[in-house]
Structure formats: structure tokens, C-alpha cells
Amino acid sequence: MSPCPAGKITVFFVVILFIACDSKQPASTKKMQINFTDVTATAGLANFRHVTGAVGDKWFPESMGSGGGFIDYNGDGWSDILLVGGGTWPGKSVAVAPALFLYHNNQDGTFKNVTAAAGLADLHTYGFGITVADYDNDDDQDFFFTTIWQNHLFRNDGGTFTNVSLGSGLDKDLLWSTTAIFFDADQDGWVDLYVGSYVDWSPENDIWCTLDGSTKNYCTPELYDGVPSRFYSNNGDGTFTDKTEQAGFLPSPGKMLGAVELDFNNDGWPDLAVASDTQRDLLYVNNGDGTFKEIGAVSGMAYDENGRARAGMGIDASVVDNSGKETIFVGNFSKEMISVFRHQSGNFFEDRAALSKIGRPSLMTLTFGLFLFDAELDGDLDLFTANGHVQIGIEHTQDGIYYRQPSHLFLNDGDGHFFDIVPSIGGPLAQPIVGRGAAYSDYDKNGTLDILVTENSGPVHLFRNDNNENNFLRVNVKSTTGNRNGLSTKLVGITKNKRMERRVKTGSSFMSHSETTVTFGLGSEEALDSLYVYWPNGSMERFHNIHGGKEINITEGRGKLAVQ
Amino acid sequence: MRCLIPLLLFLYCCTSNEKQVVDVLSSSNPRTNRFLLKGSDALKQHNFIQALALADSADKYTVQKADIHFFKGRIYSELGRFTEAEQAYKNALKATPSYRGVWNNLGNNAYRQQNFSQAVDYYIQEITQNQAPIPLRALGRAFVELGKTDSARTFFQKAIDLDMNYAAAHFNLAQLEEDEGNFKQALQHAGRAYGIEPDNFEYRYVYSTLLVQMDRGSEAIFNLRKIVEKWPWHHGAHYNLGRALIRVGQKTDGENHLEQAERVRAAQAKIDHLENTVRALPDDPYSYAALAFALRKVGRYNDAMHSYKVALYLEPENFDIWNNVANLYLIQGDTITALATYNYIVDRNPTLTDIWLNMGVVYALSNQKTKARNAWKQVLAYQSDNAAALNYLKKLNGN
């Protein structure tokens, strides 16, 4: 019955030994070269603070926002930054918070607040997300802004914006909207708009939620009814028509937080994958005429392996391995793996969360922003996630889970296996934050992709990518027969050892917008051997031996490249 | 000695679905053991108040107080009253510092409260005294929750090294390997767990889902059909069966199961929410009653009974809940206990006409016409115009 003292010592030794072993990380020397620098302050973004309007009521929307991203508002070819300020509650707060913040890129690594000059200072609401596209095909970047009440469409008039919501057909639904995505569903040359809706919440039907039985905390969405998302068809005259039902988007469970355009069946028509919070994720396959059929459950991408709906937030999709098949990634709650579903055949997807090695490391974090990008320009798409919990004080009730969480940067080994290098490289990505939106762009035009992350009730972060050892080629496309931005254009870049497939798209991530310029990482290669451009109208153009280290423009049908 | 076996089987218990180590209580008084045996039976039936009373009775006949404290700790753990459970376990340690299983059960309670670091500390305390498979496996589980997978794997393996037929440890190792994407190893361990305990449907389910994930769904269909037969409320089994059937070309059948999975999932989401509510409001009998109702609705009768009994522990004189308990016995086919429960209620409050009415129905269904008639007459004694009672009596007299 009584163990000898030696036995005790042995047991303790074993325990300590193996606790220590868990801190080791699989990291190659190459991976250790990745480095990001937090340049928020030097870039002039330090004064930004997202506000929630919280005064102690713990109203659900306060924990969810907000997004932000990149927009070239003045058409100078440099990425500017557009941020959602959040909001305050009427009658609750004395001060009103600006809804939007626009920062002009000074082309020297710094930004200047031009919100007022651009005509965006007068809007006060409770905002969540942005998506950017040239909806009126006049060669500039307009944007759509989601809120808890009326959404707003801003038309770019040569570097200043006009709120054209009223009468646009987008101003009628006063619902809690989240992520929106522009894409040309029917390929008529005008981008349509899918607007995600979340839950039926209002101050009047707010539910009292608690972690400890005595104090109120933020609710999770199970307690509220979902509100179906909406689809608006672009009429080509500056107005939109609600075709949610007509296009096959009803019924739907609502609680949508992310959407990504893809073409998993390679039929040339854009499909849509939707991340839903505590509801099944959705996969809308395009019927080839701008209407859709939802096949998420049958395809195998709607649930986890046990048929459980997860808390889907950010989403992205692309080809990330040698299979040539698209893989969908969805950020989920803590204790839920990031979803990884690779297209298999027909309408079927296989769950690769565990096999990809992303699943296990993602169990302790709650992921909002999520996107694929080539972090080290080696030709493979890597996965960045912005993380942060929704329950303040979660660490006191759930051991091992924290309110503020580090980001993940999963590097791709080229065959769909990923390793989170943040624990190894440390630096700004390892700093615990309350991450929400996330977007990428090469804001300093050095070829590497930099990261923008927003925090709930906190600052924005601009992480400069300092990995500039590898070569690159950046490509802008302009469609002449389809939508001007060339959304849904597929680009395939070929080098000696790589086939890289990229897609021009908006949406993805969480309430945020990344640049639409496509970046090919060339590694040590000097040039792209071939570049195939598959335009939305089904035509293809092919270019050869394009030297890297530059950004080029391709206009549909011209058969030549222009260096920017 | 034979009579000790069932008692000892439960002495080490925390949750009813875990295999437990038995130990010998050499100093136990036979009279104490009798009370504790009955107490264990009561606990098995979720009769918490009775179990606590028996523990108090046992207390009078023994100097070995640690047994009593330990048993009380188990009762409070089952009730989800962790503060009282911790106090009872610590009293057991005070009486007998080397009492086996106490640290393990403290660890289990910490685990259930999601205090995983605390659980690790407790399990290590247990292991220093008793390097047995159960605390080793429990330690592994706590490490899993903390994201320390290397440590978890080591302790699962150590548990297996000590007992190669420890199915739960194989099962946990299978889940760990599955999460890591090592499906082949996961299938080996899941198959081992299932082989050791072929009647364990949880093991059977995980084994089957691994086959589905490995694109060997056709091999899983038989088992998944068995699982949905036994557990029609199990959305995961419906979901995986649906997927497997569709992949082998049985589209209609598969889609039916996917639809059923969606229906069951909605019910499960409600149960999940109610479980969170009882965790947040552990003193609220109505939260437990609501959870019990939801569980009963999907056919999880044993879990429903557990929740009803916790509600009754919190509010022993709530006859609405007693009535639901009696009805649940009835649904499970236990007419005798159902009638005993109805009688228990009307003994305390004979004016409850609904109870008399139900009693009459049960007696009538079991062909005890006189008793049925008397029961319905009792209804009329308190409510002379009760239409249902009048109708039943009319039918009974007509027959």
C-alpha cells in the first residue's frame, strides 16, 4: 500500500520531464528566418482604437467586432488602410465614435489619417466589416460597410467617397450584418454582393449569460435565432436587387461570419463557401447561371467528424498542395480545430484538419481572422490566423484558454502539411491579443506580404514582413469583358518545380479585405516560366518567362504585360 | 468477502462510465459495509438523499471514518456539488492520509470544473501513492486538455503498460492519435479498446468514425447502424452513417441519416445549453429539471433520471419533479417503481389529483381495476367535476 520514497521521486521526475518536452517545436532553420516587425506606431496607426460602446451591459455585439483591411482609394497603386471604428450605443454613451478610419499610404512606410478629407468622417453607426470592389466598373475601388443596423455602400469619386446607400437597394434590411463579399455570381460583368447576417439580437431581446452563475458575460450565439444572409444582384446602374431566394440562398440557418469564393469543381463558375457560427457551414455550388444549390452537409464540409456544427468565423480557400484541389479553411472556437476540408472528387470533401497538422495546435485558440498567403515567398500558401476569445476572464473558468491569444502562422511544407512557427520565432505574432479581423497586402511594395490585424476594443496592428530573401512576382489583372476587377480570374504560375494556383477574389478572412493583387513566391527562381490567366468569361491567356522582382498589370485580351 | 465486491467497485468511482480500480478496505466494519453497500446501490439509482442518509447511518458503526467521507465525496461529486465533495475527500485524507483514490477523485472533480492544472496536481499526488492505471490515464486526459500532448501520450502509454487490457486508455490514445492525424495508430488503439469491451458503444463509434475518415466507410456501416439503433439520439452516428452510405452509393438512405443527424443535432444543442446552465446555476432545481426533460425527450432516460434526482436533492418536496420521475419510470417499463413513486407523492400530499389520475391509469393498464377505481375516486374526492376521472371511471364500470 505504501509506495517507497524512491517511487515518489521517480514519478515526479517523469512528470516534470514530459511537461518540459511539450514546449519543443518542429522548426527548421529556414522557418526560423521568417520575421515580422510591429510597425504600427512608426506607420502612424498607433492612435487608432476600436470601441465597443460597452458600459457594463455585456451586449452580444460588443464582443464580435470588427474588421478592416486594405484599399487603394486614390488609385496610386499603393495600399491604403480602411478600419472599422466600432460604435457606441444610442443613449448609453456620451461620445459617439467614428464608424470608419481611412489612412493614406505616404509611400514611405507611414500613413496619414484622411478620413475626413475622403468624406468618411460623418458616419456614426455600429460597424463590423468591409469589402472592396469596383462595383460600378469605373476603374476605382468602392466599398461596402456592414453594421448592426443599415449597411452602407460607398462610391469612390476620384479619391473621395459618396454614401450612395439610399436607393441602392442595399439599405432596406436592418439586420446584424457581418462579413460581405463581392463576386460576379452570374458573370454578367457586374459584381454582385452576398451579405452575411448573424443573429436576431437587439437590446430588447438581450439574454443574460454567465460563466460563473453570478455576473453577466457575453453570450454565444446558440441562444439567439439565426438570420439568413442575403444576396443582391448588381443591376449595372448603381442599384442592386435582393435575389436571396431566387438565387437559392434560402432557407439558410444564418449566424454567418465568413465567406469565400472558390471554384472547387473547376466549371468556371464561382461557388461560395460560408462559415457559420454554431450552425453548419455552407457550400453553395453555382448552377452555371448565377443561382446556387447548397450542398454543405452532403459534401462533408459542414460539420466536424462527429457531425457537430462548429463556431465558424474566418474562412479562406485555395490550392495548398500537389493535389491541385482546393482546400477550405475555417477558423473555429477554442477546443475546436480549425477546419481543413480538401476537395476530393465530385461534390465530396475530405476532412484534413488533423492530417494537415493544423488541427491539434489550433485547439487552444479561438480563431477569427484567417487567410492564406505566401509568407516566405517559397510558392506555397501558408495560413495566418488572428485569435482572441470572446469571454473576458475565460482563463478563470477554463484552464488553458486565455482571453488574449497569440496568432498562428502555419507554414506549408508544400504538400499540405503545416507547422505553426509562431512559438519558435516569437516576436509580434506571439504577443497575446484579442484578435478579430485580419488582412494582407504588400503595403511597402517590397514584394513581401504584410499583415494587418484588428483587435476587439483595442488597437490595430501592422506587422511588416521582413522576409525578403526570396524572389516574387506580383500580378494585377483587369478584365475588359467581365467585372473590371477581374474577380474570379484564376492565375496559374509555373516554375521549374512548382505549380501555383491563385484566384482574384474579395471576401475571405473575417469582416476584412486583403489586396486583390496576386503574389507568386518564386523562391530562388529568377522567373516564372509560364503564367496562365483564366478570365471569368472562360478565355485563357498565356505568358512566358516573366522575370520576378516586380509588379505587373495584365489587361484582358491585350496579350501583353505592363510593368507597374 | 463476496459481498464486498460491488461496494468496492464503486468506491473509487467518480463518473459512472469509467472503469475503476478496486481496493480492499481491511478495517471496515461489516455493519458499516452493509450500509455503504446499500448506499452504493442508492447512488447507482441516483437516489442521492437516500445515499447520504445511508452514509450517515454507516458513520454510526465505524471508527474508519475515511470510508464514510470518501463515500460522501462520491455522492457530492455525482451531484456536481464540488465544494462539498472536496471537503468530504479532504476529511477522508485527514482521517487516513494514504487513502487510495481520494486524490484521483479530487482530480476528477477539478477536471470536471475545467481546472485542468489543478487536476494534474491532484493526479500526481495520487500517483505518488498509487501508480495505478486509472490515475495515470486520468493524468493523460488532463494533459490533453492543457494541450500537452506529449505528456498525455506518455501517461496513457504508462497506464497501458500497467494494464494492457485497459480499454479506456487505449481509447484515449486513439483519440489523441486521431487529433494528431495519425489515423493508422488511432485505428489500432480504437480497435483494441473495442476488442476489449465489445459492448461499449462509445468505443465502437470512434472505431467506426475512424474508418469513415480513412475512406473505409463501407466497413463502418454495420457498426454505425447498430449504434443508431441503440442510441437514436446520437447525431454523430447518424452523420457518419449518412456519409458512409452516400459514399457507397446508397444516396437516399444516406441523406435520410444526414437529415436525421440535423434533427438530432438541434436537440443536442439544446441539451448542451441546458448543461451549461446547470454548471452555471448548480443550486437551481428547475435548471436540472429542464435538462432532465430535454434528455428524456431524446430518449436518454438514465441521464434524465440522474438530472431529475439532482433536482430532487435540491428541492426534495417538489412534487412536480417527483411526478416526472414516476412518469420516467413508467416510460422505462418499471411500473412497480412508478407506482411506488406516485404513492410516495400522494402520501405526502393527497390533494394532488393529477397524481391520483396517473396512478389510476397505471393500475388500469396493469389490470388492477379496483385500485384504479379507488385512485380515480380519490380524484373526484378533491375535484368532483374532473372530466378525465369521470370518463375513466365510466369506461371502467362499462367494462
What mean pLDDT is predicted for residues A510-527?
97
Instruction: Look at A27 and A333; give whichever has higher pLDDT.
Output: A333
B43–chain A nearest CA distance, Å: 27
Q: Whose CA is closest to A54, among A237, A216, A296, A255?
A: A216
For residue A217, the model assigns a pLDDT of 85
For residue B63, the model assigns a pLDDT of 72
Which residues, numbered 183 to 202 in chain B, qualify as contacts with chain A under a Cβ-Cβ cut-off of 8 Å?
A: 183
Please list every residue in chain A whose beta carbon sits closer than 8 Å to the beta carbon of residue B209.
305-306
User: Strands A550-555, A471-478: parallel, antiparallel or unpaired by DSSP?
Assistant: parallel
A297–chain B nearest CA distance, Å: 7
What is the tens place of the pLDDT at every residue in A428-483? 999 999 999 999 999 999 999 999 999 999 999 999 999 878 999 999 999 999 99
B265 reaches A (C-beta below 8 A): yes
What mean pLDDT is predicted for residues A150-154?
97
What mean pLDDT is predicted for residues A27-46?
80
Among B99, B128, B187, the residue to mutate for chain A (most A Cβ within 10 A): B128
**What cell does B158 get?**
504508462
pLDDT lower than 50: segments of chain B: 1-27
For residue A468, the model assigns a pLDDT of 77
- Among A138-142, A214-218, A526-530, which stretch is predicted with the lowest mean pLDDT? A214-218
What mean pLDDT is predicted for residues A122-142?
97
Burial (Cβ within 10 Å: 0-12, 13-18, ≥19) of residue B391: exposed
Please list every residue in chain B whose beta carbon sits closer than 8 Å to the beta carbon of residue A22.
147-151
Most distant pair of Cα atoms in chain B: their distance: 74
A399–chain B nearest CA distance, Å: 5
Q: Whose CA is closest to A125, among A142, A149, A143?
A: A149
For residue A5, the model assigns a pLDDT of 33
For residue B6, the model assigns a pLDDT of 26
For the sheet containing A471-478, what is the strand order? A518-523, A471-478, A550-555, A561-563
CB pairs under 8 A between A and B: 116
Question: Which phi and psi angles does A349 have, rounded to 5°?
Answer: -120, 150
B56 reaches A (C-beta below 8 A): no
For residue B351, the model assigns a pLDDT of 93
For residue A21, the model assigns a pLDDT of 43
Of A19, A278, A364, the CB nearest to B151: A19
What is the tens place of the pLDDT at every residue in A96-120? 789 999 999 999 999 999 999 999 9
For residue B28, the model assigns a pLDDT of 58
User: ipTM score of the complex?
Assistant: 0.82
Mean per-residue pLDDT of chain A: 92
For residue B211, the model assigns a pLDDT of 97
Please list every residue in chain A whose beta carbon sits closer than 8 Å to the beta carbon of residue B151.
15, 18-19, 21-22
What is the tens place of the pLDDT at every residue in A177-227? 999 999 999 999 999 999 999 999 999 999 888 777 778 888 888 889 999
DSSP summary character for residue A74: T
| Contact indicator for A266, A232 with CB cutoff of 8 Å | no
- Among A265-269, A349-353, B44-48, which stretch is predicted with the lowest mean pLDDT? B44-48
What is the helix (H) or strand (E) element at residue A341, kind and residue range? strand A339-345
What mean pLDDT is predicted for residues A401-423?
96
Task: Give the Å distances, CA to CA, from A246 to A231, A295, B43.
Answer: 9, 17, 58
- Cell 448552377 appears where? A287
